[in-house]
Chain A
């Protein structure tokens, strides 16, 4: 009697089963929120927190590291799409858009740095948090605008400013890490490293863009083959970027923008791509919760809240100061400031990466960023959604 053909009791289900349950639970929480007019991403973020070490402990930091590729891929996908929506011609036609972007970033950076420095966090930490605060969550913005089928001046600017501030945020943080390099190992490295990151990302972006435009000649992006080719392209890009030690976020964004620049035709996302992206977004929020533990969250709460307030003041100030001359009215300028609030997975990953390189510094930085992303990941999407509905830029009829 061979026992290997009969199931053991209790059943040995392995690791897949809880993941499946968690995925369904996350999706359902998002759906439930959707019924009450809460953006689905807020629900996903909440479910991620509940499943993570904060409450249930189904996932922990190891899961985050183990599934890093999925998260990187999803963010690359979202940023690629964001890049394609980002028209460089617009920046040349309307310089005030650039001014708005520079204004909101500079103000956010200055206020966040100033606030943290004033309460004595130390210059390094204050600078790092300020660099992360400059960015806005691309995943949340893309998800919320797609959910509302939003379009219009506020939406366009929101996405353009997000593309710019994500890029600047990533570079700023790398510069800072470069400066920390300088502390450790001489000025040449501190100078060369950020330069390498920047130029490398732009070049890699150009290669991805060229490959995409080449592929588009061969296969229709809306077909199944086109979809497979696109996924393969992004996977190859991530593999290459990782091997080159370049940030995986920047190059896809640059690639998207270059594609729109070279070929202004409408690059519409195939339907299935949207579905795959949607599932992946659920997965990364489910996993992002794994990075948040109660102890660290409470440790960072005070400074996190302070940083959130300073950051919000910066975003509002920049949008209200430069919105009107760029062709927005005051109401839409305010909505733009509110819309820029979300901060989420990408910020958390940036802080994680700093911790991998500099464990001590990272351990002080991460709790603050964690507190920020928990609050702005849950409430940010709601703010963005309300703002877009307020300025009537949704195509989905009148929403609650």
Chain B
């Protein structure tokens, strides 16, 4: 199987995917109700799509193709209200968050679909352990080479996106010390990490052909990269975010990515180099572990700053683009959160360290997501 040709898409158009948790309203543990929820949603008229995921206690919702923040916010809201109504009929809770705080991976079931069974057979416990919940954002690119420029340029903003969306401090009932522990589960996969440093689609096709020759991969789907090109959509897909606890935050993060993309495409501010990636995994780890307080090493100057300072600087750079795109208001709210050092991970930790039990914490997550609370 060779690589699809890179489809054309409207530059800067975007689509947002959210993986969501389904929990029981009795004990707030994950519950295998994806099938029932999907059957109920199939009868509803909602924008975008609602799909099964690897295990039976998760679903993935996605918006259609949107041009701006307003459209994303509106479609996510429509999905949220339809899902909430269906969930109440089924007596289940739906919530955001990159991990479920206390589920036991051994109790998960693989959703009954050939691809999921294949992955489960291949990856063993990693598949069930992959019951983690992420937000993916697609950004439309005018062409394949532009897509690769955007991919490598966006790679510098991975720590920013991790810190803004981090919502997975707890795994298997324990505090991991991380703000985003979810990415550690992703890292376990042999084909995770980052895309190779190639700047033209031709070189990328060569790389892909070499990889398929080894028999290691069959399609782009087999790569679990932080950012990967999606030739069939004509987009790049940013995949490092935890699913935020509210759709408001998810929409704002998508808007932030769109504004960065516009800045990169129009100003072309970066001269790409392979050596940019020397600090990549270090920066990524710092953001996962410490969030806004993590250290960010600048790929060119090698200057050390905090992730928070770096995010603030980025907001200044993209401000004009945000105004053009009409998303300066939500970005302003995000910036306020950064200045206060608040994100979803700190919200979760605060509640639990103040004595709220983990099941009650998950219930709080459901209230926030289903109630459509603002960021």
A residues at B contact (CB < 8 Å): 85, 87, 89-90, 93-94, 149, 151-153, 156, 264-266, 268, 326-329, 332, 392-393, 395-397
Contacts and interface: CB of A to CB of B under 8 A. Distances in A.
Contact of A327 (B56, B90, B363): B90
A87 B32 contact: no
Nearest to B91: A90
B44 to A, nearest CB: 12
B26 interface: yes
B32 A393 contact: yes
Contacts of B31: 151-152
Nearest to A326: B89
Interface of B: 24-29, 31-33, 35-36, 39-40, 56, 88-91, 104, 106-107, 109, 357, 359-360, 363
B26 A265 contact: no
A224 to B, nearest CB: 18
Closest 5 CB pairs of A and B: A395-B107, A266-B359, A93-B88, A90-B91, A94-B89
A93 to B, nearest CB: 4
B91 A156 contact: yes
A149 B107 contact: yes
Nearest to B28: A266
Contacts, number: 67
Given A153-B33, A266-B363, 19 more contacts: A90-B25, A90-B88, A90-B91, A93-B88, A93-B91, A94-B88, A94-B89, A94-B90, A94-B91, A151-B24, A151-B27, A151-B31, A152-B33, A265-B363, A266-B357, A327-B90, A329-B35, A392-B32, A393-B32
Given A87-B25, A266-B27, A396-B107, A327 B89 contact: yes
A265 B360 contact: yes
A267 to B, nearest CB: 9
A326 B86 CA distance: 11
Contacts of B357: 266
A85 B107 contact: no
Nearest to B87: A93
A93 B89 contact: yes
B365 to A, nearest CB: 12
Contacts of B90: 94, 153, 327
15 contacts: A87-B26, A90-B91, A151-B31, A152-B36, A153-B33, A153-B36, A156-B91, A264-B363, A265-B360, A266-B28, A266-B359, A266-B363, A326-B89, A327-B40, A395-B107
A85 B26 contact: yes
Nearest to A157: B91
Contacts of B24: 151, 156
Contacts of A392: 32, 56, 109
Contacts of B40: 327
Contacts of B360: 265-266
B32 A151 contact: yes
A319 to B, nearest CB: 15
Nearest to A395: B107
A218 B70 CA distance: 48
A324 to B, nearest CB: 10
B135 to A, nearest CB: 26
A115 B59 CA distance: 47
Contacts of B33: 152-153
Contacts of A156: 24, 26, 91
Given A152-B33, A266-B363, A397-B107, A87 B91 contact: yes
